[in-house]
Amino acid sequence: MMLQHDAMTGQDRARVGVVGSGWWATTAHLPALSRDPRAELAGVVDLDRSRAAEAAERFGAPLACDTVEELLEAGVDGVVVATPHDQHYEPTRLALEHGADVLLEKPMAIEAAEARALVALSRERGRRLDVGYPFLYTRHALALKQAFDQGELGEVVTATGVFARGMMPFYAGDVSSSKETAPDTMWETDVATWANAERGGGQMLSQVTHAASLLLHLSGLQPETLFAATDNYTTDVDVWDVIAFQARGGAIGSLTSTGTLGAGAARVEEYRIFGTEGHALLDTSEGTLVITRYGDAPREDRPLEPDEIYPMYAPAERLVSGIFDRELPDTAELGLLTVELLAGARTSAKNGSTVRLDA
Ligand SMILES: NC(=O)c1ccc[n+]([C@@H]2O[C@H](COP(=O)([O-])OP(=O)(O)OC[C@H]3O[C@@H](n4cnc5c(N)ncnc54)[C@H](O)[C@@H]3O)[C@@H](O)[C@H]2O)c1
């Protein structure tokens, strides 16, 4: 461990570097790390060295460079990889090989083989590998996960997620609004990440990945067979998608998603999970959670405050927590399961066939 001892506070601080200092790193991860008293920003890497230098200066990192190796040589406990979808594998592999814990942005990979290799490497090296899914960490998601884990709602029988956002400008090539995401945001995102199917663009890999991971995380379902359909609407990438699956043991699930919400419309994100002893409705857009246990009156949790609805700093904070607490579970297997589901869904949608995920 490269923990840095802070003589002022008497505390150890985790040394964390960031690879890819684009839209999301400057919106979420760099601000989160620079404000976290348990972390010390070790450096910023970007293929575009001037971006790395500007971000390093803005967030107070002592090193700016254009290779991951240079960052690793400087000594790190953790690395955040926030590069475009088709640039996730190599920086993550290098960081894990070097012995760092990693937070990798979603989706873990475009194809399952790369995700499997990264999970295997992280297990072999005993390192954490987290995926950038903020919605796992809302107060409601944590409470609902606990309710299912403790058997409060019995065995899950069906689980459904609906996820709709206004993504059409991105898919049509206009990403200018991304520059206004948060006060810390330094640059707009790259059009290719959203509008180029070869590079992992489209609704499935950029948005359904959030809904799928949350539904699988909460329900614990392990999909075995699936059928999916998608449509590109007026763009070159998938804009709306449906995935229906059957999980190990017989339970079923579905995900429906569209990127077509119009300007000014609030995002719609709902999850309904039915167990043998009760059911739950989680609305991650409205910030509400209602749990109904059969025989009891429905229980509504205190709604989320506006600043709890999108916990975009949570993944980087979790990486830092995990560096200190080796017992804290990571999300490597969840990230892989999600990639496998989405890869199977793309095959199913293309061929019009049912896909077995273990085949
Ligand atoms: N979790 C969320 O809510 C959320 C939101 C937005 C984006 N993201 C994810 O964040 C990731 C990055 O997206 P973005 O919009 O910030 O991309 P971006 O294009 O704005 O930034 C990526 C940066 O990485 C750099 N880069 C590219 N290849 C590199 C390499 N091999 N090594 C080092 N640097 C490299 C680019 O120069 C660029 O500055 C994606 O996986 C995306 O899906 C997540």
* Nearest atom in ligand 1 to 107's CA: 41
Q: Which residues line ligand 1 (CB under 6 A)?
A: 19-25, 45-48, 51, 82-85, 87, 91, 105-106, 132, 134, 187, 189-190, 193, 206
Sheet containing strand 252-258, edge to edge, reads 299-300, 288-293, 278-283, 268-275, 156-164, 252-258, 240-247, 223-231, 355-356
Rounded Cα gap, residues 302 and 30, in angstroms = 30
Q: Which of 46, 88, 199, 342 to probe ligand 1 with, by most ligand atoms within 8 A of CB?
A: 46
User: According to the model, what pLDDT value does residue 77 have?
Assistant: 98
| Nearest C-alpha neighbor of 298 from the set 135, 161, 141, 153 | 153
CA of 250 to the centre of ligand 1 (A): 38
DSSP codes, 318-356: HHHHHHH-TTS--SHHHHHHHHHHHHHHHHHHHHT--EE
> Tell me, what's the pLDDT at 5?
75
- So what's the pLDDT on residue 9? 73
The residues near 10 (Cβ < 8 Å, ≥ 6 apart) are none
Q: Which atom of ligand 1 is nearest to the CA of 315?
A: 1
pLDDT per residue as tens, the chain (359 positions): 778 777 777 789 999 999 999 999 999 999 999 999 999 999 999 999 999 999 999 999 999 999 999 999 999 999 999 999 999 999 999 999 999 999 999 999 999 999 999 999 999 999 999 999 999 999 999 999 999 999 999 999 999 999 999 999 999 999 999 999 999 999 999 999 999 999 999 999 999 999 999 999 999 999 999 999 999 999 999 999 999 999 999 999 999 999 999 999 999 999 999 999 999 999 999 999 999 999 999 999 999 999 999 999 999 999 999 999 999 999 999 999 999 999 999 999 999 999 999 87
The separation between CA 130 and the C-alpha centre of its own chain, rounded to angstroms, equals 8
Strands 156-164 and 4-6: unpaired
**Closest among 257, 185, 251, 250 to 228, alpha carbons compared:** 257
Tokens (6 digits) for 176: 């200018």
Give the residues across from 253 on adjacent strands: 159, 245
How close is the Cα of 183 to the center of ligand 1, in Å? 18
Q: What spacing in Å lies between the alpha carbon of 29 and ligand 1's midpoint? A: 11
Tokens of 172: 């049509």
Residue 52 CA: nearest ligand 1 atom is 39
**Cα 304 to ligand 1 centre (Å):** 28
> Distance from the CA of 265 to the center of ligand 1, in angstroms?
26
E strands present in the chain: 4-6, 11-19, 39-45, 64-65, 78-81, 101-104, 129-131, 156-164, 223-231, 240-247, 252-258, 268-275, 278-283, 288-293, 299-300, 355-356
Assigned token pair, 211? 């809904």
Beta bridge partners of 163: 257, 269
Is residue 7 a contact partner of residue 70, using CB atoms and an 8 Å limit? Answer: no
